[in-house]
Structure 1
Amino acid sequence: MSRDIAPFGLRMPSHLKEELQNKSNLNGRSLNAEVVSRLEKSLDDEVNKNEIVNVDLLEQLQTALDQRQALGNQVHTMQERLGSLSTLLSNLNHHVIPALCQTKNTRLVSAGTTYGDKDRLCAFINGFFSASEIVFYIRDGHSNHSALTVLLKGDTNNFLADATPMTVERLPREREVLDLFQVLDERGLLDVAEFAVTRVKQTRDLPVEQAIEELEKYETKPVRSNIYEFLSLFFREPEQVKPDWFVDEWKKLN
């Protein structure tokens, strides 16, 4: 007997011993050799399984590292693009707009529809204008009882939209005005917004400088916390207007 073979007494159920004996006969080896072979195979399989698991873990770890690197590259690219956009917006506000506007005061052209003017004002506020103060006025409308006038005041330029037909007299129109106010709130501009506490005269037919001069004569108060008082001015009897006339989203802006 070889010295590296250690004797070992093994008890097993009779049916298992009989099955192993049959397998050993088929494989042409002794019962002892059959048992040793099967034990060696089970140990080898266990080692191979652990190696496969380790390889899988390494592959998963490498995949995670690759994904993190790719994400880092994307973040860096986005930061560069945001930097470029910030520079572009700064140039638009401080160089392009002053170059296009020959005077300090400019009248914005109406799109002719409520939704068209809403889209124009939202785009203008989001992309091309840094306002230091915004004033809202309610004037007599043409196709409606009332309409919205907006004065955007900046450090170097003022922009007046006094021909828009925007109103809150009907629900679809109210939501368009709400959309505009939500954009202002997202930009942090609603906190510098005010409104004239009384209805104002029509100014669209006046030269823009004179129109702004007339509008600035009206008493104003902050929009924030007075939103329902502002909305009531769109109606013939403001004192009769109740907050529950309007959609709930206004509560978040009040």
Structure 2
Amino acid sequence: MTRIVVLTGAGISAESGVPTFRGPDGLWEGHRIEDVATPQAFDLDPGTVLRFYDARRRALTRVAPNAAHRALARLEGALGDGLLVVTQNVDDLHERAGSRNLVHMHGELRRALCVACGARPEWDEDLAGRPSCPTCGQRMLRPDVVWFGEMPYELDRIEQAIVACDVFASIGTSGVVYPAAGYVALASAFGARTVELNLEPSDADVPFDDARAGRASELVPAWVDEVIAAEASARS
């Protein structure tokens, strides 16, 4: 069975109405990155940071998975454990589309992180009121989102999957922020075929074997159809 690792970024969710990380003015939904996405910002003004992420969590109820999310869930149905989706997004659209073999390397809006005990409970309520951690009882919860200066989740698992994969696909991400920026080079070095599906070609240090430009909702379903057809042909 073909082993595929898919890396997704903001571009796959933008078509669902999820704002991208940075706007043309360099701001994130009207805020400077330094004011809402660093540990220092949380230490200085936790109220502003918590309200910002509470608003983003509530906004998830107003968006839905698009054809690209659903196509990747369909690919998982065909490949099973042969597919791993690694997402840089903190929304839950992959899960709602049906993906299960999934790593949120930058955390999840619908989880909280307890600064006191390290618990990561599922969380749908606001955090600005400083609720207690359900594990230790301390009022030390923050969004379970990886901020600048913090280490992404499950890097060892991601790198092991990329080293072992036959195909590495990058969808809706510029690929310029590390460690994700190095994944195409790693996959290529270990012999994987590399594919980019993005609104515009990225400036990856290592060129992709196959780079397609366009909307994720159009490119991803077509690519998934190709992969499933090739897999079926190889089995027959």
TM-score, normalisation: structure 2: 0.26
Greater strand fraction, Structure 1 or Structure 2: 2
Between structure 1 and structure 2, the one with the greater Rg is 1
Greater helix fraction, Structure 1 or Structure 2: 1
